[in-house]
Structure 1
Amino acid sequence: MRVTNAARVVDPASGLTKMDLVRYYVEVAPWMLPHLQGRPAYIRRVPRGIQQPMTFQQHTLDMKGLKGTDPATWPGHDPAILFTSAEDLAAGAQLDMVEVHTWNSTEAAPHCPDRLVFDLDPGEGVAWKQLCDGARLVRALLQELELRSWLKTTGGKGLHVVVPVRPELDYDVVKPFTEAVVRHLAQVLPQLFVAKSGARNRTGRIFIDYLRNGWVQSTAEALSVRARPGLGVSMPVAWEQLDDVEGPAHWTVANTVASLRRRRRDPWAAYWTTRQRLDVAMQRLGWESAAA
């Protein structure tokens, strides 16, 4: 594939270029594609570098090289973007893609999410250690609800706690349940967590964003680059590894592929075969869906 404007600097802070991004997405594809399989995607494009206006694109819009989802997946809308190969990711990067965001459901069951995402977004004054402790507390509550969870950095400011579930409940049930989990945490530990967005509400505290669990909402996918100085990467990590992580942008375009190649095991290995039901968790939380 011919890469246009290959030498254009995307991130002045690191000096990384468009060609660096194309190369990154091609090389990371073996690890990234399992996360993308069958999952509608949006992309953030930066045609003039991350310091200039960006475009968040939800549809293929006949753009060369981008594949679309089945029209039946999102009736009344143009297809969302679908990545199935390294060539697809390279085509996206050629079109100035930096970030890849995905739905919590797949084409196979578009209205029923197969994962929950708790996005820990630190307010001003929250130290990295405090954020890590907060993520562990979220995990502890989920364990009390008999839900296993997996962890990844966001590549930006926070951490994502991800819970794989069976795709059997629709978004009208799942989103309110995640809100109930977050509100419970904010009620029990108000000095650490807040369930209300807004910078003033979370000064010194962590906002847990549950809104990403709504219909056609999206989250930065594992191994996506983030359009921030340094071009951090959202990296799946083991819970036991968290103490060794220096920050949410510990991994970048410059070091991620080499780090993946050194890994002896996939920290999310069990994630791929874990599909949990939410009925026990709902009972333990004392929550009942209004849709029931």
Structure 2
Amino acid sequence: MVDPSSGVTKLDLVRYYESVIEWMLPHLKDRPLAMVRAPTGISGQIFFQKHAEKTGMPGLTAHDRSLWVNHPPLLTVDTADALMSAAQMNVVEFHTGNSTILRIDKPDRVIFDLDPGDGVKWKQMQEAALLVRALLNELDLKAWLKTSGGKGLHVVVPLTPRLDYKSVKAFSQAFVGHLAKTIPDRFSATSGPANRIGKVYVDYLRNGKAQTTATAFSARARPGMGVSMPVSWEQLSDLKSGAHWTVQTAREYLSFQTRDPWEAYWSTRQSLASVIKRL
């Protein structure tokens, strides 16, 4: 049993990942991977794995050590076989970095992780996402939305992979700082529970090098087994929580979807150089 609270078994989880292979692989392919494994279920010991081990999973790609100096070989999930191999080896969550293996030092996205503090109602989360989008629009940046599978929402901005991690992280920090300064009763730019009571914490630290975020369609190792689901901005008002879909409900939902709400994301590239000056 992976999750006693919802009754999700390992077979349920494996079948879920099998059903979302075509949707999920574009979000995984060529990206440095971190996996959350739960060999005895999510109520047992859970651990992160970023690198190959002797008990390796067949199908995953281990990249040359020289790709990232002083760093063990990075792993990627590039094929259906690799995804299923990981699922069979008790991987619950798949997290990816903000750059691809081909341009490891140049991120091609910025992620804003919206996390509710104590006392924040879901309606405030929805409004917070819209405010983040509005400020991005002011900067002429297009953004895409997904549920986190947990309590919050992820706002993702595709980039032209030109600037380094230090520059992109500095932009994200300045952006969040501006939000918190402009609307201090709604946003916090400071981590820690005491700093975000009644506020939405926007985590910019996800944009540092070696940092990862739960990828689209990943299940989460939490009671209920929510999944991170890409959605259109028009769907935001209909969402009930960051775990609106779960391992048990996502397959049916996706079976009725004929179009990827992130279709235009894949062909969108945006430069931050002029945006940083404007901000």
User: Which of the residues 47, 53, 61 maps onto 2:45?
Assistant: 53
Most deviating of 270-279 and 85-94: 85-94
Q: Tell me the secondary structure at the aligned position of residue 56 of structure 1.
A: strand
Residue of structure 2 equivalent to 1:4: none
Residue 253 of structure 2 is aligned to residue 270 of structure 1: no
Most deviating of 115-124 and 16-25: 16-25
CA displacement at 1:94 relative to structure 2: 1.4
Residue type at the aligned position of 1:279: A
Residue of structure 2 equivalent to 1:28: 20
Deviations 1:32-55, CA, capped at 9 Å, x for gaps: 001112111110000111111211
CA contact (8 A) 2:2 2:10 kept: yes
Residue of structure 1 equivalent to 2:6: 14
How many Å separate the matches in 1 of 2:275 and 2:159? 11
How many Å separate the matches in 2 of 1:155 and 1:208? 16
Deviations 1:72-104, CA, capped at 9 Å, x for gaps: 332222222211122111111111100000000
CA contact (8 A) 1:40 1:69 kept: no
Most deviating of 61-70 and 182-191: 61-70
Residue of structure 2 equivalent to 1:111: 105
CA contact (8 A) 2:149 2:226 kept: yes
Structure 2: runs of 5 or more not aligned: none
CA contact (8 A) 1:26 1:87 kept: no
Deviations 1:102-160, CA, capped at 9 Å, x for gaps: 00000110011000000001001001110010000000000001100000000001000
How many Å separate the matches in 2 of 1:255 and 1:192? 32
Residue type at the aligned position of 1:55: F
Structure 1: runs of 5 or more not aligned: 1-8, 286-292
User: Which of the residues 138, 163, 167 maps onto 1:169?
Assistant: 163
User: Which of the residues 93, 102, 111 maps onto 2:96?
Assistant: 102
CA contact (8 A) 1:35 1:221 kept: yes
| 1:182-221 alignment, distance < 5 Å | 182-221=176-215
Residue type at the aligned position of 1:28: V
Residue of structure 1 equivalent to 2:57: 64
Q: Tell me the secondary structure at the aligned position of residue 20 of structure 2.
A: helix
Residue 175 of structure 2 is aligned to residue 181 of structure 1: yes
CA contact (8 A) 1:145 1:280 kept: no
CA contact (8 A) 2:220 2:226 kept: yes
How many Å separate the matches in 2 of 1:267 and 1:64? 32
Q: Tell me the secondary structure at the aligned position of residue 151 of structure 1.
A: strand
Residue type at the aligned position of 2:239: V
Q: CA RMSD in A?
A: 1.0
CA contact (8 A) 1:25 1:86 kept: no
Residue of structure 2 equivalent to 1:131: 125
Identity over aligned residues, as a percent?
54
- Count residues in correspondence: 277
CA displacement at 1:26 relative to structure 2: 1.6
How many Å separate the matches in 1 of 2:212 and 2:235? 26
User: Which of the residues 71, 74, 77 maps onto 1:77?
Assistant: 71
Residue 217 of structure 2 is aligned to residue 223 of structure 1: yes
Residue 240 of structure 2 is aligned to residue 246 of structure 1: yes
Most deviating of 61-70 and 116-125: 61-70
TM-score, scaled to structure 1: 0.93
TM-score, scaled to structure 2: 0.97
How many Å separate the matches in 2 of 1:269 and 1:27? 19
How many Å separate the matches in 2 of 1:34 and 1:86? 11
